[in-house]
Chains A and B, each alone.
Chain A
């Protein structure tokens, strides 16, 4: 498709529960990026993929966060044992190449609320 599709739009989890978010990039886009946006517009880079390979994971909190992009499946971001501070909007973006002069296309995000 011509849009980055993220599901679900909203997710509510109790502290300690698992959360799994999905992202289907635009067909033909090789790069997928995950960002976390908390209050005050701060975007935090989490991880990027080039096809199914991790491209850059310097932003990932390794102990509870994991992500995958498998062939013929939506990419996923999973948070084990969620904490209150994980409450945020998680955006996925895709791009046909890393140094994309026309910018990246973002999905509409998944709003995670941890209670």
Chain B
């Protein structure tokens, strides 16, 4: 089982639609959680951090459920420019040597005109 799992998609949605992405992680010692966006094999760029209380940034809402080890990203009123691959990323600190960002395989979103 992968440490961070995402639905690979692709998600093809019309402009204005609401779309939700899910992610689960297996390492209960994980400390920090992020959604990154990657366009056409360019570098990943931080979209938002994810906090236990949930957080919102404009049209984007992120949720974290530590008990279920589940992270979500909701995009409202999607725009053409939202088309990208969305990466769920977990920063784990454990007693072992696994101390790095672990990436999900990404969910591809295409917003259609």
Give me the interface of A with B, judged by CB distance under 8 Å. Answer: 33, 35, 37, 40-43, 45, 48, 55-56, 58-59, 89, 91, 93, 98-109
Contact = CB atoms under 8 A, between A and B. Distances in A.
Interface of B: 31-32, 34, 36, 38, 41-46, 49, 85, 87, 89, 91, 93, 97-103, 105-106
Contact of B100 (A45, A91, A102): A45
Contacts of A104: 46, 101
Given A45-B100, A56-B99, A99-B91, A40 B105 contact: yes
A29 B43 CA distance: 18
Nearest to B85: A41
Contacts of B45: 106
B38 A103 contact: no
B106 A41 contact: yes
Given A99-B31, A99-B91, A33 B42 contact: no
Given A91-B44, A108-B43, A109-B43, A98 B105 contact: no
A98 B100 CA distance: 8
A105 B100 CA distance: 14
5 contacts: A33-B101, A37-B41, A43-B103, A103-B36, A106-B43
Contacts of B100: 33, 45, 48, 56, 58-59
A37 B38 CA distance: 12
